[in-house]
Chains A and B, each alone.
Chain A
Amino acid sequence: MSPPLDHQLTDWRNHALKLENEVKKVIVGQDKAIRLMNIAIFARGHVLLEGGVGVGKTTLLQSIARCIGGAYERIEGTVDLMPNDLIYHTYLGEDGRPKIDEGPLLRAGENLSVFFFNEINRARPQVHALMLRVMAERHISAFKKEYRLPHMVVFADRNQVEKNETFEIPSAARDRFMMEIPIEIPEDRELRKSLMFNVKFQHAENLTKQVESNVLQFDQLNQFSDTLQSHIKSSPTLEDYAIDLWESTQSPAKFGIKMDSVDVNRLVHTGASPRGMGMLLKAARVNAWLMNRDSLYPEDIHAVFHELIAHRLVFNSMYENRRTQLAREFTTQILNTVAVPAQAKAA
């Protein structure tokens, strides 16, 4: 017999907050990213991490994977990486005969909880295709059998700065990721000083070991996520607001959205997708739950809006090379301009 709903919600919330605190012990200056990744874990969404080299993405992921429990696998994106490298690898056995073993995607089976794809944009589109299919379906056929990956969350990383020998992830593929979270170098000088001079940050492996393992029960996350999603309610006013936000990504001029640097009518080619908006509300509900509420507030949507929507927007090609900056400005303008409750509808 399962415990009462209120107890479940409180118990899981305590665990979720503990996860954040554990990760914060070893990762400094990334509180927002940690909160967003926590939200993604409970919303069962895949995450694209954006950031430079050496900002602590891998340590962050390993810490989170340790807290979630289950198996953690990782693969590096390279230009010669092929889809089969994810599924199997061949080697010569002790008897000198060739052997085939399961690749990183299949190795842990159903215990796989976190799969980290490092520098996904260095891999070829064939690899993207396979990866994105697995992300959507969470199962794959290999070795004449069905491998199920029900608890897997993919964290992929792409370096936005380097463009040589990279393959841009198409918009349809980006849409499969729930969030794109920027991992930025902390602005605070004290934090920077700590990162430079505190010797505990020199050994990432030892650092990760300080994080308590198995804070969450990874194999129960799917079930609890469903419970959580049905528990958090949204009012008609908030639903109208969410619709307005969606429409504003498609027809910004209709909502009076203006940008200093570009004409918004020329900027946006395609706005957010229905799947994207569904994911937005899913993530917002998790935020409401973490804030100990049972109703969605606009602030819950704002907490995840940029990370949920920015990478889904398709800009006209002339603006693509300024995507990061323009997407941030655009989503900020949407939140600043679209009113809640909408004036016309309130009357």
Chain B
Amino acid sequence: MKNFKTKCYVLLGMFAIFNGAIAQESKISEAKIISVINPLQSHNIQVGDVLSRKIILDVKAPYQLSLQTLPMKGVRHDDVELSQISITQSASKEGIQYNIDLRYQVFSAVFVPSVLQLPAEKFALTGGPQALSVNLPAWKFWFSSLAPKGMTKARENMHMQFKPTQIDLQQHKNKLIVFTGILMVGLLGLVYINADKRWLPFMNGAFAKAHRKLKKLPKNAEGEKQALSDMHQAFNQLHGSNLFANELNSFLTKHPAFVKLTKEIEAFFEQSNQALFAQKTQSSEQLMADLMVLSRRLRDCERGV
């Protein structure tokens, strides 16, 4: 329990320090860290590896970086030694921009993987009325020993490896499936509505056949007679017996899909009677065109589209 309390205090302390740093940094408007480039890899760092940090720092005039108080080359913090420090600067009206390159070398000789850090650094500013400084936070990394201590099982030195997080493509996959499905259904629908062939199910209905036949007929009196005959045959086939104008009600009761074309069907029977039995002269071309339209609409009813 005591141990737990200690940990809590340490954490609170760290939090206070971190907050203080942020607070101090945020107070300084005369200097600002533009960017910090840390090493790319934060694991599998071994003894002798050199790690570098590059800092770009803007300092407003009249302040400037105190070169005397820079971290000392050769200073070692927890087995991490500052092996090199180089600074370049570029001046402007507003102030000076510093490019600070810090290079550290790791000298730790522990035998178990452990967390080390490139130390936090403090850059003092001079030239102004106040004594200011800029804090660079520490950067932590995992240190790996070159070899385990003694003859131990590899398992003891193994740390859990996390699988790299993959980008979630499931949502895109779902969308792709849905849109492909809609596309296929739409294409099938278009084929179903427009195709005359009989390679899809339910496509070989009586009116589909009649429509196919009508398209091949000549637009003359003979064609007209054959077209009427084909249409009547389609009606008869669907009705199960000969269908005449006076039986349309029972036909429509049996086949409600055609109800919406009641007027057109009645008109067809009247036209047919006029052409076949009353011998009234009509334009064959016009009649054939009308029959083409009607047979197509009846075919659509038959297919339920």
Hey, which bits of chain A sit against chain B, CB under 8 A?
233-235, 237-238, 293-299, 302, 335-341, 343, 346-347
Contacts and interface: CB of A to CB of B under 8 A. Distances in A.
A340 B232 contact: yes
B244 A339 contact: no
Interface residues of B, number: 17
Best-surrounded residue of A235, A294, A341 (most CB of chain B within 10 A): A341
B278 A339 contact: no
A297 B273 contact: yes
Nearest to A335: B242
B226 A296 contact: no
If over half of B's interface residues share one DSSP class (helix, strand or loop), that class is named, otherwise mixed; here it is: helix
B245 A238 contact: no
A143 B68 CA distance: 167
Given A341-B229, A346-B229, A347-B226, A336 B279 contact: no
B287 interface: no
Best-surrounded residue of B232, B276, B277, B279 (most CB of chain A within 10 A): B277
B68 to A, nearest CB: 114
Contacts of B246: 299, 302
Contacts of A234: 277
A341 B276 contact: yes
Contacts of B38: none
B242 A297 contact: no
Nearest to A233: B279
Contacts of A237: 225, 276-277
Contact of A238 (B241, B244, B276): B276
B279 A343 contact: no
Contact of B244 (A235, A293, A294, A298): A298
B277 A298 contact: yes
B236 interface: yes
B229 A299 contact: no
A339 B225 contact: no
A294 B277 CA distance: 10
A233 B276 CA distance: 12
14 contacts: A237-B277, A295-B279, A297-B278, A298-B244, A299-B244, A299-B245, A302-B244, A336-B242, A337-B242, A338-B242, A339-B236, A341-B228, A346-B229, A347-B229
A295 B233 CA distance: 23
Given A338-B242, A339-B233, A238 B277 contact: yes
A234 B226 CA distance: 19
A233 B280 CA distance: 12
State the 6 A-B residue pairs at the shortest beta-carbon distance, nearest first.
Answer: A336-B241, A346-B229, A295-B278, A237-B276, A341-B229, A235-B277
A297 B280 CA distance: 13
Contacts of A337: 241-242
A324 B129 CA distance: 130
A159 B193 CA distance: 59
Contacts of B226: 346-347
A339 B242 contact: yes
A298 B233 CA distance: 15
B242 A235 contact: no
Interface in B134-150: none
A340 B228 contact: no
Interface string B233-245: 1001000011011
